[in-house]
Amino acid sequence: MSLVAILEQVQTLSVQERKDLVKFLVDSFDVPPPQPLFRLADMAGFAASLATGEDAQTYVDGLRDAWEQPQ
């Protein structure tokens, strides 16, 4: 359905129905913003071993080995 067709249908509504429609549309935009996946502060110390000069590939290999070990 096109916007023009919707607007034509809206014009057939009563004043109260139009007010209800506007309220519904406004309320539909009242959605809380999405939460970030993480905060920058949560990243403090992340991959600190890389700052010590450890080879990046060695570090990643160690992480993969830890993930693959049964718990």
In single-letter form, the type of residue at position 61 comes to: D
DSSP 36: P
Residue 53 φ/ψ region, left for φ over 0, alpha for ψ in the -120 to 50 degree band, beta for the rest: left
Long-range pairs for 9-16: beta carbons < 8 A, 24 or more residues apart: none
Q: How many domains does the chain have?
A: 1
pLDDT digits (tens, 9 = 90+) for 15-58: 999 999 999 999 888 788 788 887 877 777 776 766 778 888 88
Q: Residue 12 is encoded by which pair of tokens? A: 């057939």
Domain containing residue 20: 1-30
| pTM of the predicted structure, to 2 decimals | 0.42
Q: 69 lies in a domain?
A: no
DSSP 29: T
Q: 5 lies in a domain?
A: yes
Q: 19 lies in a domain?
A: yes
Q: 4 lies in a domain?
A: yes
Q: 40 lies in a domain?
A: no
Q: 17 lies in a domain?
A: yes
Q: 58 lies in a domain?
A: no
Q: 64 lies in a domain?
A: no
pLDDT at 16: 97
